[in-house]
Homo-oligomer: A and B are copies of this chain.
């Protein structure tokens, strides 16, 4: 069962390979009658264009590389899904790389994708600093869009949620529901989400009163760190734990319950991202929902509109507005759910 090629179709329809190519690719106008004949022959023979040959000749593989730190990070699957759909809708296939949170692996994967002639790259960088070189090099060769996390200024186009706006929504909500002594459990390091959420908290928490913006403890984006942070902070009895992401918040929630704290009566807990786990926590977690579908659509669009040269046109960063999702973990005070 040898593959059917363009030649076979040409032979069967009595015209040249060029004509067949034009009919099937729709590149140039072709006579109506010929078109019909060719279509019919292609159909009859079950012709399927060989995308590899097409790619070699046209210098476009119709493939984009999606490079991410760790697919097991619960925020990513939904994003990957939307990206896959958005790209597939444009007829592009997705090559996936999981970098194991390691910049060296990331550089290797990016390099391998370039060798495979991907048309473009979508990168969620592992690290703000250590990913920079590889990303910048790649961006010079193909259209590249940074997603969710930054990678230093001017390196590439980027699309991300507006972390500051999200944090502002949280603080506003907490203030409006009577919280007065918030604290912040964040992540240290230079990752853009970590920095931006932390900064936004510090900027906004001043509004809670003349006193300091409450305690700020920094660790990493993990459930475990959420638990630890509660151990450190709870003795000073804040009335709200503002967490830099949902994993931290879930850890905080767990530990607070173990300690017998009343959430949300005595203390509120909020997260960020709205991963699936957030809705399943008990009490369900108030959090900031990232507009995942929009992030994906915007990234796909940016990718499509970049010139192929990979030239250093002015880089643009698109910020998408998040949405506050109020759930039980920040419910009304004084009326503890029984």
Contacts and interface: CB of A to CB of B under 8 A. Distances in A.
Interface of A: 48-53, 55-56, 61, 63, 66, 70-72, 74, 76-78, 80-81, 84-85, 88, 93-98, 100, 109, 112-117, 223, 250, 254, 257, 276-277, 280, 282
Chain copies in the assembly? Answer: 2
A94 B93 contact: no
Contact of A72 (B55, B81, B115): B81
Contact of A276 (B55, B56, B74, B76): B74
B56 A84 contact: no
Contacts of A72: 77-78, 81, 276
B61 A71 contact: no
Contact of A254 (B77, B85, B276, B282): B282
Given A63-B95, A85-B98, A95-B95, 4 more contacts: A52-B52, A85-B100, A95-B96, A257-B282
A85 B85 CA distance: 23
Given A52-B55, A56-B52, A81-B70, A113 B98 contact: no
A51 B115 contact: yes
Contact of A52 (B61, B81, B109): B61
A175 to B, nearest CB: 29
Contacts of A51: 115-117
Given A52-B56, A85-B98, A282 B282 contact: yes
